[in-house]
Amino acid sequence: MKKISKAIIPVAGLGTRMLPATKNLPKELLPIFDRPMIEYALKEASEAGIEDIIFITGKNKEMLQYYLGKNYQARHTFTEDNRSIKPERPTKSELNPNNIVFIEQKEPLGLGHAVLCAKNIIGNESFCLILPDMLAKGKPGCLSQMLQAYNINKGNIIGLEKIPIEDTYKYGIVKISDKKNNVCKIDGMIEKPRPEKAPSNLMIMGRYILQPEIFDTLEHQNPGHNNEIQLTDALITLIETQKFTGVVFDGKTYDCGDKLGYLMANLQYALDSEANNSDIRKTLVKLIQTLES
Ligand code: G1P
């Protein structure tokens, strides 16, 4: 079986839920604690052995392109704790600047359309899809967990996570069977159902391993929700002929396209940072005491 080496990262979204912060700054460059949001997706991809990244960009994303392009070598010189700058060469497992490609999605026609933009570059290979504003915090990373399941199950793999039932209208939701540990069969999907219509409380949390047949399906896909080409609609078509396996992520996903999710991710990464941990913890405890008094 050929190793999966390519990942698509769509970054064309306008970040409307994070305005005015995203008026000029791409949301992928907003910091989560001490580094831009996009860094976490790149680290997760690199740890999973991904070598080529295809960014699907949109309008007003020049800054992101600049950050990932010209500054890329510089990024590799930061140490983990960001305290010092180490002039060292990137290791083999890290991404090479030559292996980052940008494709502009000319119109905001939806996630399915964004994925379709990468058709010619991906060709006939299986690939990963990472939605970077869904920040998946876990060890090993979410994609690595999913690749383990892929090596056994093949086919398509979708990252899942339990959410409160009242939140189903925000995400794609799956219908599952045959759950063993964190792996299950996916029997159906529905995009953003109201809680009473949701087949489970398992959301599609923004990580996918997909087979190349999705491109043909997307090409024939009619616009759905919001008059956009929805990826979930194409997956629903493909599930009739292909195997879909769900992996319930052993970790926690923060929806950083949303102000509360963004704040929670910042707090959690701050609390987990070794360098500042105790000061941050003390300050937060004091703040909570003030709020409660
Ligand atoms: C997309 C998918 C949805 C998934 C979500 C995760 O929705 O269509 O199934 O749950 O990403 O972020 P979007 O955020 O593009 O509306």
Does the CB atom of residue 232 touch ligand 1 within 6 A? yes
In a domain, 177, yes or no: no
What is the distance in A from the centroid of ligand 1 to the CA of 181? 25
In a domain, 50, yes or no: yes
Please give the C-alpha separations between residue 85 and each of 76, 97, 129, in angstroms, as whole numbers: 9, 19, 31
Ligand 1, atom 15, residue with closest C-alpha:
111
Total domains present in the chain = 1
Is the CB of residue 231 below 6 angstroms from any atom belonging to ligand 1? yes
Q: Kindly state whether residue 276 falls inside one of the protein's structural domains.
A: yes
| Per-residue confidence (pLDDT) for residue 65, from 0 to 100 | 85
Q: What is the DSSP letter of 78?
A: B
Among 145, 138, 118, residue whose Cα is nearest residue 129: 118
φ, ψ for residue 177, nearest 5 deg: -150, 175
Query: 54 lies in which domain range?
Result: 6-155+204-292
Report the pLDDT value the prediction gives residue 77, as an integer from 0 to 100.
44
Residues in the chain: 293
| Sign of the four-CA dihedral 251, 254, 260, 264 | positive
Per-residue confidence (pLDDT) for residue 72, from 0 to 100: 53
Please tell me the pTM assigned to this model. Answer: 0.90
148: domain CATH number is 3.90.550.10
56 Cβ closer than 6 Å to some ligand 1 atom: no
88 within some domain: yes
Ligand 1 centroid – CA 203 distance (Å): 9
- Scan for tokens 């529905």, then name that residue: 190
| 145 CB neighbour count, 10 Å cutoff | 24
Rounded to the nearest angstrom, the distance between the alpha carbon of 66 and the centre of ligand 1 is 26
Residue of minimum CA distance from atom 5 in ligand 1 = 171
CA of 134 to the centre of ligand 1 (A): 9
Residue 191 lies in a domain: no
Would 175 be classed as within a structural domain? no
Domain annotation covers residue 173: no
Give domain status of residue 179, yes or no: no
pLDDT tens digits in sequence order for the chain, 293 residues long? 788 999 999 999 888 888 998 888 999 999 999 899 999 999 999 999 998 999 999 877 888 888 887 555 444 444 444 444 444 444 444 555 558 888 988 888 999 999 999 999 999 999 999 999 999 999 999 999 999 999 999 999 999 999 999 999 999 999 999 999 999 999 999 999 999 999 999 999 999 999 999 999 999 999 988 899 999 999 999 999 999 999 999 999 999 999 999 999 999 999 888 766 788 888 888 999 999 88
